Amino acid sequence: MKDLQPIQLPGVDNKRPIIIAGPCSAETEDQVMTTARQLAEHGVKIFRAGIWKPRTKPGGFEGIGVEGLSWLKRVKEETGMYTATEVATERHVFEALKHGIDILWIGARTTANPFAVQEIANALKGVDIPVLIKNPVNPDLELWIGAVERIYNAGLRRLAVIHRGFSSYDKQLYRNMPQWHIPIELRRRLPQLPIFCDPSHIGGKRELVAPLCQQAMDMGFDGLIVESHCDPDCAWSDKNQQVTPDALDYILNMLVIRETTQTTENLSELRHQIDQLDNQLLELLAKRMRVSREIGQYKKEHSMPVLQASRYDEILQKRMAQAVELDMGAEFMKEVMQAIHEESVHQQMEIINR
């Protein structure tokens, strides 16, 4: 994919960060126009809005549908902004193109399905339009690259990806775990492919939008796609993560864009990897404690004692040997396992004595 081209939209500066902003969903003509006007006043050049919404369960707001495309056309005419929307089927592609949408994106649930991505690719043959491909919901880099290849093979060259985090079963800080090492590996594999960050879907909360934008910039990402709504608390979808156009403007003005001088850039990337790994360690520990509490419940129901010395000793010996194999000290691992075990016993005691 050596001949990938920049997104190239006349009037849009290619300097970092390229900003795409707009509501999660187009809800009413008034909400779309109000949000768009406010964003345009702050200098945003590309407007996003979901027209068809992939919802986890039926019954929620599933998007306004084709009607909303004419509102986006109006946004373009009245504000001069480019417009972007999500497509998941061949029909979405045809309708979006018919209504003059400038940029298409493929959502995370769609990227996870090669049949759907291929259907979109087929519908796009011979069309020259920028397409942004979100990562699949599951942390599978090959599946993500595969989706990019399908669109590329249909002849499209103005491609980019959007990092929106990966879903997880366990309770966590983020709505979708960033797993930064995955987009970083994608950058290494396809250095000419621009990467956008979607802090709204990673964070799931307004407070996390600003730090995630900064983190994406520190990682050398090219752009940001942020959900912005004129009245976030009343949004029909994803209300907790949307910010007003004024708040977005504030967030963007606070960003520190460090230029990519090799050594410090590499260091901050590495530090972010450490942060990310620590987050994963914490999440894993939380998962381990959850299993441990389940064991506590079992022990309670079967009147077993909390402490089973032989099992503990077996774990300790095994982990110390494994640590040595992995170039870590046995004593260090002993201390780590003792601390974990202590907390685990503590949590089981609480269940048993409840």
Q: How many residues bind Mn ion (CB under 5 A)?
A: 2
92 part of the interface to ligand PEP, by CB under 6 A:
no
18 part of the interface to ligand PEP, by CB under 6 A:
no
Q: Per CB under 6 A, which of residues 45..74 are in contact with ligand PEP? A: 50, 54
217 part of the interface to ligand PEP, by CB under 6 A:
no
Q: Per CB under 6 A, which of residues 160..179 are in contact with ligand PEP? A: 164
Which among ligand PEP, Mn ion, none contacts residue 164 (Cβ within 5 to 8 A by kind)? ligand PEP
Least distance from Mn ion to the Cβ atom of residue 236, Å: 10
Q: Per CB under 6 A, which of residues 292..321 are in contact with ligand PEP? A: none
Which among ligand PEP, Mn ion, none contacts residue 178 (Cβ within 5 to 8 A by kind)? none
* Tokens read off for 264: 């410090």
238 part of the interface to Mn ion, by CB under 5 A:
yes
Segment lying near Mn ion (by CB under 5 A), choices 34-42, 124-132, 213-221, 236-244: 236-244
3-state secondary structure the chain: CCCCCCCCCCCCCCCCCEEEEECCECCCHHHHHHHHHHHHHCCCCEEECECCCCCCCCCCCCCCCCHHHHHHHHHHHHHCCEEEEECCCHHHHHHHHHCCCCEEEECHHHHCCHHHHHHHHHHHCCCCCCEEEECCCCCCHHHHHHHHHHHHHCCCCCEEEEECCECCCCCCCCCCECCCHHHHHHHHHCCCCCEEECHHHHHCCHHHHHHHHHHHHHCCCCEEEEEECCCHHHCCCCHHHCECHHHHHHHHHHCCCCCCCHHHHHHHHHHHHHHHHHHHHHHHHHHHHHHHHHHHHHHHHCCCCCCCHHHHHHHHHHHHHHHHHCCCCHHHHHHHHHHHHHHHHHHHHHHHCC
24 part of the interface to Mn ion, by CB under 5 A:
yes
| Choice between 84 and 323, CB closer to ligand PEP | 84
Burial of 270 (0-12, 13-18, 19+ CB in 10 A): exposed
Least distance from ligand PEP to the Cβ atom of residue 297, Å: 34
64 part of the interface to Mn ion, by CB under 5 A:
no
| Choice between 136 and 296, CB closer to ligand PEP | 136
Closest CA to 245 of 43, 63, 82, 73: 43
Which among ligand PEP, Mn ion, none contacts residue 107 (Cβ within 5 to 8 A by kind)? ligand PEP
Of residues 45, 76, 134, 229, which one binds ligand PEP by CB under 6 A?
134
Task: Measure the CA–CA gap between 220 and 137, rounded to whole angstroms.
Answer: 22
Q: Which residues pair with 46 in a beta bridge?
A: 20, 82
Q: Give the residue closest to ligand PEP by C-beta.
A: 107
| Choice between 202 and 320, CB closer to ligand PEP | 202
Least distance from ligand PEP to the Cβ atom of residue 107, Å: 3
**Phi, psi dihedral angles at 242 (to 5 degrees):** -95, 145
| Choice between 225 and 333, CB closer to ligand PEP | 225
Which among Mn ion, ligand PEP, none contacts residue 39 (Cβ within 5 to 8 A by kind)? none
24 part of the interface to ligand PEP, by CB under 6 A:
yes
Which among Mn ion, ligand PEP, none contacts residue 134 (Cβ within 5 to 8 A by kind)? ligand PEP
Q: How many residues bind ligand PEP (CB under 6 A)?
A: 8
| Choice between 35 and 348, CB closer to ligand PEP | 35
Which positions lie near ligand PEP, rule CB under 6 A? 24, 50, 54, 107-108, 134, 164, 201
Which positions lie near Mn ion, rule CB under 5 A? 24, 238
